[in-house]
Structure 1
Amino acid sequence: MSDDDEPSKQLQSNLRDSISRALSTRRPLLTHLNADTTWLLSIPNPPSSPSANGRTYWHILVDPWLRGGQSDVAPFFSQQWHKEPSAVQTIEEVEDVIRGIEEAARVDENDEAQETIIGVDCRSDDVDVEQIREGESWIDAVVICHEFTDHMHKETLLEVRKSVPVFAAPTAASRIRAWKQFEFVAEIPRFKGDWRDSSRAPLPDWLGLSRVAYAGADLLYYHQAIMVTFGMKEAEAVIYTPHGISPTDLEPVAKADPTISTLGLLHGLQDIRLGAQLNMGAHNGLKVQRLLKAKYWIGTHDEIKKGGGIVSWFLDRKVITFKEAIEREKEEHGVALKGTWLEDMADVQFEALRNGESLILE
């Protein structure tokens, strides 16, 4: 087996282990498609509200950058490559993964059939052609949080079918529209207290996409979050903030009406500076976690990539583990764990999902 094949094998192995339980619990499935910050979030369609996509899950592809380099401004200024090959190398392979999940959902009572469909090659002669018509995609939506090309990677995005709706932060949406590649490109609306306001077609009415950011606080909206909210009577959310966000900016989520329960927080551990703060790191993540009380904290955007250009000479990166961050907080505040808010952190399920791993958000 070549080194390039290993992440793909790992992905298939993890999906085999996860899908049966995900189907039985009807809970979201989160899959890390590279070592950095490309994710597939598969959210079950509520039985009481069948989705227009006609499938078991609604599949959201987040910040896809699968192979090749990325550069902002110019290569001499900043250029990066993945150090580890992505678990999937093309959008076609992403489609195959999703198709495998959906096929497993259709035959979840037959373990032998699952092994056939979720294997090394998800493509199968048994695929129901009615499940996906010509020109359609297994990807239900693409979400882009920033215009920087490690999030808005043009070469990867141009592989996505034109019919797939794209939801992006304002500047990213404007640039993507200029490519004239996609039939639908929309700005992700700012969260204003009621997540239902962000549930707009072509999204199903039980799912909303919103952007959490303080107006005018950050010109580039660098430190913001994308919130995927879902549910009927009781809403849950997965909050994705690859560069971190001020806890103050997240207070509207904690005070939302109707109430939002944070199921998953995707926030990195590394503190990265280039003069100004880029990635806010583990200590900020602890403050955010204290506010949101997310059931799962998942690390993201922590890949140490191969870099070149002027920027690589001046990056100040501090690699901090979750445990080290907890210990640092205890030292700085001069408190013991027991009887303080830090004690709650002992129950946080922190997950450092590697390239190709998946997690059921139960």
Structure 2
Amino acid sequence: MSNPRGAKHRAHFTLKRDLRPILTSLNGDNSWLLSFPRPEPERKTSGKAYFHIVHDPWLNGPEVQISSWLHEGETGHSPIDAIHLSFHYGDHLHVPTLLTFDPSIPVFTTTDGAPIIRKSNHFTSITAYADLDPTFTGDWSAIRRAPGLPSYITVFRIKGHHELNFFTALLWSPAPDTHEAVLYSPHGLHTSTPALQALLHHADPSFSTLALLHGLKESWTWSWQTTFGAKSGLELYRESRARYWVATHNDRLGYGGVVWWLVTDIFRSVEWALGQEKGGQEVRKDVKVEEVKNGECFVLE
């Protein structure tokens, strides 16, 4: 455990209050450890305080600093409880990294991602979940929970106008009438998407948004914008009423081959997005984007 991450954990645990979800950056870009507190009875029976989900791990490369502790604990078993893969492209579903994990860890992913993982013949439990129907009305309580996930965690995805533009929700229910969400949209999507509007404004049961994980950079392939960046993030932040905006998929990547000629990344700031929102008027400093560095954690208070 790196010193910054360890210090933040110790500060949180020594306050002697209810445990809160924790985000830990695994590669400084888009790979995360999402740690959700277990109910008290489960803590006693399992001996574990958190349910740990590894999200989109890409850990075989120069950006990795802390991957080794994910794979084996002191007893020789991985402390990871589940793996979540939000998208089937290689920077989200990285097979060489996945092969380093214990094959008994349950994996849940999209219908496009499941065949890729099954082809590797590594994991024993793979669950595919479909995108929500465009006619979704907001009642997420009826969504079938993925095997391998406890009753207090629900995950589902909303697809936008293109496969790159999607929105994933992970809802944590610490009590029957309390629901909190971590919302993830690495490339952004149109906020007018009907299923997204239904979730954000007509959710049943209602939930509060702990964190929005969304990047600031725009990505273009020739004249086609594939990643919407800061402006889209600000719109989603406003509509979701998120407590925190955490930057993800925002690193400076090196491209090679044909991609080097086709792809252009434009790095924006939240101040730029606020200026766009206000039509060039004076910028208000009322929005902060949390940058969680490689190996560090962020407690969602």
Query: TM class by shorter-chain length?
Result: 0.7 to 0.9
How is 1:200-215 mapped onto 2 (pairs within 5 angstroms)?
200-214=146-160
The answer on 1:157 being equivalent to 2:98 is yes
Q: Does the 8 Å CA contact 1:162/1:181 hold for their aligned counterparts?
A: yes
The answer on 1:168 being equivalent to 2:109 is yes
The corresponding residue for 1:238 is: 182
Question: What is the aligned counterpart of 2:63 among 85, 88, 97?
Answer: 85
The alpha-carbon deviation at position 273 of structure 1 amounts to: 0.6
Give the secondary-structure state (helix, strand or coil) at the position aligned to 1:228. strand
Change (3 A) 1:288 1:239: same
- 1:273 alignment partner AA: W
Change (3 A) 1:309 1:168: same
The answer on 1:178 being equivalent to 2:126 is no
Q: Does the 8 Å CA contact 1:87/1:355 hold for their aligned counterparts?
A: yes
User: What CA distance in whole angstroms lies between the structure 1 residues aligned with 2:46 and 2:228?
Assistant: 37
The corresponding residue for 2:254 is: 306
The answer on 1:222 being equivalent to 2:164 is yes
Is the deviation greater in 171-180 or in 189-198? 189-198
Q: Does the 8 Å CA contact 2:219/2:228 hold for their aligned counterparts?
A: yes
Give the secondary-structure state (helix, strand or coil) at the position aligned to 1:248. coil
Change (3 A) 1:175 1:224: same
The corresponding residue for 2:33 is: 40
The corresponding residue for 2:192 is: 248
Give the secondary-structure state (helix, strand or coil) at the position aligned to 1:247. coil
Q: Does the 8 Å CA contact 1:199/1:206 hold for their aligned counterparts?
A: no
Q: Does the 8 Å CA contact 1:142/1:165 hold for their aligned counterparts?
A: yes
The corresponding residue for 1:77 is: none
Question: What is the aligned counterpart of 2:271 among 323, 345, 357?
Answer: 323
Q: Deviations for 1:116-165, whole angstroms, at most 9, x for unmatched residues?
A: xxxxxxxxxxx4x4xxxx6x531111111111111111100111111011
Figure out how many residues of one structure are paired with residues of the other and give that number.
287
Structure 1 unmatched ranges of 5 or more: 1-10, 69-83, 100-126, 338-342
The alpha-carbon deviation at position 308 of structure 1 amounts to: 0.7
How is 1:45-56 mapped onto 2 (pairs within 5 angstroms)?
45-47=38-40, 53-56=46-49
Q: Does the 8 Å CA contact 1:199/1:209 hold for their aligned counterparts?
A: yes
Name the % identity: 31
Change (3 A) 1:270 1:51: farther
The alpha-carbon deviation at position 252 of structure 1 amounts to: 2.2
Question: What is the aligned counterpart of 1:282 among 213, 220, 230?
Answer: 230
Q: Which structure is richer in relative contact order (CA contacts within 8 A, separation 6 or more)?
A: 1
The corresponding residue for 2:295 is: 356
Q: Deviations for 1:172-208, whole angstroms, at most 9, x for unmatched residues?
A: 1121112221111111343443333243432111111
The corresponding residue for 2:208 is: 261
Q: Does the 8 Å CA contact 2:24/2:34 hold for their aligned counterparts?
A: yes
The alpha-carbon deviation at position 66 of structure 1 amounts to: 1.1
The alpha-carbon deviation at position 87 of structure 1 amounts to: 2.0
Give the secondary-structure state (helix, strand or coil) at the position aligned to 2:112. helix
TM-score (norm 2): 0.87
Question: What is the aligned counterpart of 2:240 among 286, 292, 308?
Answer: 292
User: What CA distance in whole angstroms lies between the structure 2 residues aligned with 1:52 and 1:293?
Assistant: 36
Give the secondary-structure state (helix, strand or coil) at the position aligned to 1:59. strand
Q: Does the 8 Å CA contact 1:198/1:209 hold for their aligned counterparts?
A: no
User: What CA distance in whole angstroms lies between the structure 1 residues aligned with 2:253 and 2:181?
Assistant: 29
Q: Does the 8 Å CA contact 1:169/1:188 hold for their aligned counterparts?
A: yes
Q: Deviations for 1:259-302, whole angstroms, at most 9, x for unmatched residues?
A: 02110100000011103222110001111111101001001111
User: What CA distance in whole angstroms lies between the structure 1 residues aligned with 2:45 and 2:262?
Assistant: 49
- 2:139 alignment partner AA: D
How is 1:110-121 mapped onto 2 (pairs within 5 angstroms)?
none
Structure 2 unmatched ranges of 5 or more: none
The alpha-carbon deviation at position 85 of structure 1 amounts to: 2.5
User: What CA distance in whole angstroms lies between the structure 2 residues aligned with 1:237 and 1:175?
Assistant: 28
Q: Deviations for 1:223-265, whole angstroms, at most 9, x for unmatched residues?
A: 1122110113211010111111221232122121000211010
The alpha-carbon deviation at position 49 of structure 1 amounts to: 5.5
The corresponding residue for 1:15 is: 5
Change (3 A) 1:87 1:175: same
User: What CA distance in whole angstroms lies between the structure 1 residues aligned with 2:109 and 2:233?
Assistant: 23
The alpha-carbon deviation at position 166 of structure 1 amounts to: 0.8
